[in-house]
Structure 1
Amino acid sequence: MFARFKALNPKPTTELEFSTPYELLVAVTLSAQMTDTGVNKATRRLFPVANTPEQIAALGVEGLAPYIATINFNRTKGANVIAAAHQLIERHGGEVPRDRESLEALPGVGRKTANVVLNTAFGEAAMAVDTHIFRVSNRTGLAPGKDVLEVEKALLKAVPPDYLHDAHHWLILHGRYTCKARKPDCPHCPIIDLCRYPDKTPETAVTK
């Protein structure tokens, strides 16, 4: 499975736009129940104005609000981004920490966000399980689980070490563009013969 993913996309990465670990942290914090495209539209306005904890903290909740007005749950997310900026300044010298415990202690940062930052910003083999990865892991039979933590642990065991760093991105992209929730594009799936999903979509259902 992963050999095929790699052949098709040798260097996968997030579709969120960022240039520093802190920009990625902010983008992922804003991304819950949002498309990456929607987040990128907001951060393209925000980051040229403020893209460090000090600059974001200086904006304050009200100053940040216009930049993220199009983001779902923007008030809660905005408050978390500002609170996290202050905590980064006070506890970490304005730098994004590289350990899970410190990341998860930040307001608005859960296990998934911490895993994304550890993997994408710092190159660690962390597995962030979002709705796409949860669906693909269960649907294909790769790493079945009843909740995201169970799937995360199963993936860490199932994915070969050489592919572990990029597996998160391959699975997200596969779920986003091929193994879609309502109508998976099974006829054009590169791993259809490896997938254990019993209700594969026929060609006619996709082409109509």
Structure 2
Amino acid sequence: MESPKMEKLTALAKTRFLSLYDAEYKNRKGEPKHWIIASRKSYEDLENLYFNHGEEKTDAVVLVAIHQETHQLVLIRQFRMPLNDFIYELPAGLIDEGEDANSTIGRELREETGLELIEVTHLQDKLYLSAGMTDESVALVYCTCKGAVSTEYLEADETIEPILVSKEEAQKILESGSKLDIKTYLVLQQFILGML
């Protein structure tokens, strides 16, 4: 079976954090098709990646953080505009220009939760969140932290409530019917089972 082949990329819309592109390609039968891609990458970076086999860069970090003093899992409740509601998530953030995953971890943990990074215990790079819609990739980071949760370091456009949850509280969140990010759902299950 022949793989589809992208032939042309056209920028449709660009914002500070996200852009839309039209990918023209031929399907496995050779028929011309279009696919809309949401990306955090610039047109130049995508063009280099798709047509010149350039290096793919990780877009963000997602943090599975255990609070050292309490052995609780660090979560956030964040208002997300596409949902027009709050959702339980793991702390996360974009890798800024000039940073890599490692240099982003402590900054994002502090910004979103007020907590201080102690140690990264595992980092799995280039994991994809919704490959049918976006090329966004993340580094999933397991780490330990300390301190008290705080909203002092949030950016103006962030509406985030950082929380520490016990296994019992994690179970209640899963049973509550609250909106959950899928990564958070899976990590809460791991946490309850003692796998973290």
Normalization by structure 1: what TM-score? 0.27
More strand by share: 2
More helix by share: 1
Normalization by structure 2: what TM-score? 0.28
